[in-house]
Chains A and B, each alone.
Chain A
Amino acid sequence: MTEKIFEMRHIDKLYGSLLANDDVSIHLNQGEILCLVGENGAGKSTIMKILYGLEPPTDGEIYVKGEKVHFHTPSDAMAKGIGMVQQHFMLFENMTVAENIVFKNEIRNGLFMDRKRTIETVKALSEKYGLKIDPEAKIEDCPVGLRQRVEILKILYQSAEIIIFDEPSAVLTPLEVESLLDTIKSLAASGKSIVLITHKLQEVMAVADRIYVMRAGQVVAERLRSETDTNELAYLMVGHHPALRDISAPKPGEVLLESKKLSLHYEGRDILKDIDLHVNAGEVVGIAGVSGNGQTELELCLTGLQKPTGGQVFLMGKDVTNASVKEHREGGLAYISEDRYLWGSAGEGSLAENVLMAKENRAEFNRHGFLNQAAINNYTKELIRRFNVKAGDTDQKIRELSGGNAQKLITAREIMMDTPVLICCEPTRGIDIGAMEFIHDQILEKREQGCGVLLVSSELSEIMTLSDRIYVLFEGKIAGEFKRGSIDEKELGMVMLGGKRE
C-alpha cells in the first residue's frame, strides 16, 4: 500500500452561484505523477488552487500526510511542502536566475546578500535535479522554457515535495514540451510527487501514472494510465466522441494573397528570406514550423504590421507591400493574431467594445460620429449566441472570459469581417477541445465559402487536419511545400527541424 501524500475529501467550491467544484475527492500517492484532465472550466485549476491556498474551499477537508490542514495563503501550503508552477510566471525580469530562485529565503551574510554562495547553491540545486540553467543570466534574456525551469527550481529550493503544474505546456514550443516532460519524470523518480493539470492527452499518456478526468466541476473518472488511451480520455472529457471531419476536395480558385521574395533583414540577420507563397480562393494553406523560425514576422509582414525589407506582398492582385494595416483590412484581409491579449483584443475593454473594433465606422454602428450602443450590443449578443461563447453581459471585460471563450469571440469578430482572406495564427493555442473543434469548423466553413485561409500554427495535428497545402518554415526560409496527404506527421516533423524528407 503506497502512502497518500495528500488527500482532498468532498471538496465543494461555490463562486457566486456557480459550482466550480462539486464533491471532488482526490488523492496523490508518494512519488506518483497524477494528471488532472478536463476542458477549460471543468474545475481542475480550481481544485488545485484550493490545495495551494489560493482559494478557500466552500466545503470539504484536506489532509497532507495524514494531517488535517487549513491553508489561508500559498505560504501556508509552501510550509507544508506544496509548490505550484503557475501558468503565468511569477519572476523578476531584470534580476538574475539565482536571485529569482532565492528570493524570500536569501542566502545572507549578516545584512548583505552573499552572492557567491547564492550562485553556488543554485548551481548545486540545478545539478542535483538535472535542470540546466545559468545562475547569472538575467531572466529577461531567458526564453520561456528556461523561465519555467527557474519556476520549478524556485519551488525545489523551498524544498517542496508536492509540485503542481498548471497547464505547463501551454506556453512552450514542442521541443521545450519534451524537455519539460522529461523533467517531470525525473522529478518523480527522485521522490517528488506531482500533479499535472492539462488538456493535452499526448502529454498525459507520456508521463501519467494515474489520471482523474474532470467535467463540469466533478471527477467523472479515475484511470491508471495502463488501462486507458487517448480516445477514451477524450470521450470522458467532452462527454461525446469528437466528430470526424469529412473535408471536401479543394476547388482552388484565383490567387488571393501572394508574397514574392519576401524578406526581412534585421540586425544583420535574415529573419525571413525570399518567401514565395500564395493562397488561393477556396483553400486552407498551413504554415508549419517550430515557433521562432519566422512565423511571427511572416504574419506581421503579411498583415502590414511590419514593413518587409525586401520583396512584395499582393492582396487581391494589388501590391500592398508598404500599405498600412487599415489598407490591408480594407483590401480584404481579416486577421486572428497569435497573442489574443496582446494584439487580438483589449483585455480591459468590454465584449461589445472588442467586437466593435475595426467595425466602428460602419453605418449601422456609427451615426455621424456617435456610436449606436443599442445596435452594438445587439450585434455582440448575436455573435455570442452564434459562436457559442460562454459569457455574461456585453459590458463584461473580455479578460474575464476563459481563454477559449475570448478566442471564440475574437474569431467571431474576424470571421464576421466577411473578407476574402483570413490569416489565423495559433487560433487554438491553450484552449480546450470543444472550443478548438468549433474554431476549426469556422475555418473550414470559410473555405467552403470560397475564401482563402492562411493558418499559422505550431500544433502539427491542427495543420495536418485543416490544410490543403502546407509550407514548412525553417530558419526564415520555406523548407518545403506539401499537398494534403503527400506527407505524414513524422516526415513533416523532420522537415520542420531542418532535415530532408526521407
Chain B
Amino acid sequence: MNLSLNYLASVFNSTLRYMTPILLVCLCAGVCSKARVFNIGLEGTLLMSAFFAFLTQYFTRNIVLAVLVGMITGMAGTFIIAFFIVKLNGEPMIVGMAVNKFAQGLTTFLLQMIFHTKGTVSDTSMKGLTKVTIPGIKDIPVIGTMFGNLTVVDYLAFALSIIMFIVMYRTVIGFRIRCIGINPEAASSLGIRVPTYQIISTTLSGSFIGLAGCLLSLGSVTMFMQNISAARGYVALAANNLCFGHPIGALASSALFGFTTALAQVLQNSALKQQLLNCIPYISTILAMAVFNYANARKRRK
C-alpha cells in the first residue's frame, strides 16, 4: 500500500514538473490570444530561450544571468512575432512558422559551432535552477515525494497564473487588452493606440516563455539537446485553446498535458511499445481539442 501511494506521488510529481513549462508558455499564449496577436511561434521562441539560457549558464555559471537571458530571448522572439503581425501586417501563420524554423536552424547551427555536436550537450559540473526544499515537508513520506525536486521557476509558474489572472481580469491595463482583442476598431475609435498595447503586452508575456525555456535546459536536468522543446509550444497553444486564454484555466489544461506526459513515462515499464507511449501526449491533445470543441459547438448552438 505504502509503495503504491509513493508510486502515485511520484506520478503527481512528474505531472507537476512536466506541466510547468507548458503552463508558462500557455500564459504567454493567453495574453497573445486576448490581445488578438495570433502567435504560433511559441515553439521556436521556447527553443531559443532554452538554448540561450543554457549557453549563458555554460559560460558564466551565473544562474540569475542565465534566467535573465532566457527571459530576454523569450521577449525578443515574441516581440519580433508581434511586430511583424501588428505593424507590418504579416500573415500570422507565416510569421510564426518562420520563427519556428529559424529557431530550429539557429540552435542546431550554434550547437555545431560552439559544442561541435549535433546531439546533446551537458556538463556535470554545471548547476541548474535552485531546487526549493520546504522545510518539514521534505521528510514526510508521500508529500515529500509529491513536491520534491521542484525549482523556484516551477513555483513561480503557479504563482504567475494567479498573478496573470489578477492583471488580466482586475486591472485597467488587463481590461483594455481584453477589449482590444474583442474589437480593435472600437478601441481605436476611442483613441486607444491599439498596436502599441498589442506589442508591449505580448512582448512582456514573452518573458514567461523564457522561464519555460530555463525549465527545459536548466530544470530537472541540466543539458541542451537538439529540439529540446519537442512541440511543447504547440501543446501549449492547444492548452490555451482549451482554457480560452484564461490564466486559471491554464492551470487545468496544462495539468492535463503534464499528466499525460507523466503517464507515458510511467507506462514505459509496461508491455506497450515505446513509440506508442510517446504518442500519448499528442493523441490526448487531439482528443481533448476534439471533445472540447464539440461540446463547445453544442453549447453555442443552444
Contacts and interface: CB of A to CB of B under 8 A. Distances in A.
Interface of A: 73-75, 78, 86, 90-95, 99, 103-104, 106, 108, 111-113, 267
A75 B178 contact: no
Contacts of A73: 191
A74 B191 CA distance: 7
Given A103-B190, A112-B170, A90 B175 contact: no
A103 B173 contact: no
12 contacts: A78-B191, A86-B189, A90-B185, A91-B186, A92-B186, A92-B187, A95-B182, A99-B175, A103-B176, A104-B192, A106-B172, A111-B172
Interface string B164-189: 00000011110110110011011101
B116 interface: no
Given A78-B191, A104-B191, A90 B171 contact: no
B299 interface: no
Given A75-B190, A92-B178, A106-B176, 18 more contacts: A73-B191, A74-B190, A78-B191, A90-B183, A90-B186, A92-B186, A95-B178, A95-B182, A99-B175, A103-B175, A103-B176, A104-B192, A108-B172, A111-B171, A111-B173, A112-B171, A113-B172, A267-B302
B171 A93 contact: no
Contacts of B170: 112-113
Nearest to B190: A104
B183 A91 contact: yes
A91 B176 CA distance: 13
Do most interface residues of chain B lie in helix, strand or loop, or is the interface mixed?
Answer: helix
Contacts of A95: 178-179, 182
**Interface centre among B170, B183, B185, B191, by most A CB within 10 Å?**
B183
Contacts of B183: 90-93
Contacts of A111: 171-173
A92 B182 contact: yes
A113 B191 CA distance: 19
Do most interface residues of chain A lie in helix, strand or loop, or is the interface mixed?
Answer: loop
Q: Which 5 A-B pairs have the closest CB atoms?
A: A75-B191, A90-B186, A92-B182, A104-B190, A92-B179
Contacts, number: 53
Contact of B179 (A75, A78, A103, A108): A103
Contact of A93 (B172, B182, B187, B192): B182
A442 to B, nearest CB: 35
A297 to B, nearest CB: 15
B169 to A, nearest CB: 9
A99 B183 CA distance: 13
Nearest to B182: A92
A94 B175 contact: no
A114 to B, nearest CB: 9
Contacts of B192: 104
Nearest to A108: B172
Nearest to B191: A75
A113 B175 contact: yes
Nearest to B180: A92
Given A103-B176, A108-B172, A112-B170, A90 B182 contact: no
Interface in B184-204: 185-187, 189-192
Nearest to A109: B172
A104 B175 CA distance: 10
Contact of B172 (A75, A112, A267): A112
Contacts of B171: 111-113
Nearest to A84: B189
Contacts of B182: 92-95
A243 B294 CA distance: 55
B302 to A, nearest CB: 7
A111 B192 CA distance: 17
A111 B168 CA distance: 11
B172 to A, nearest CB: 5
Nearest to B176: A103
Nearest to B187: A103
A78 B190 CA distance: 9
A91 B171 CA distance: 20
Contacts of A104: 176, 190-192
Contacts of A93: 182-183
A86 B185 CA distance: 12
Contacts of B175: 99, 103, 106, 113
Contacts of A91: 183, 186
Contacts of A267: 302
Contacts of B173: 111
B247 to A, nearest CB: 16
**Interface centre among B176, B178, B189, by most A CB within 10 Å?**
B189
A86 B190 CA distance: 12
A106 B171 CA distance: 10
A32 B179 CA distance: 35
A111 B185 CA distance: 24
Contacts of B190: 74-75, 90, 103-104
B14 to A, nearest CB: 37
Contacts of B186: 90-92
Nearest to B174: A113
Nearest to A75: B191
A112 B165 CA distance: 12
Contacts of A94: 182
A90 B182 CA distance: 11
Given A108-B172, A112-B171, A90 B179 contact: no
A267 B299 CA distance: 12
B37 to A, nearest CB: 17
Contacts of B176: 103-104, 106
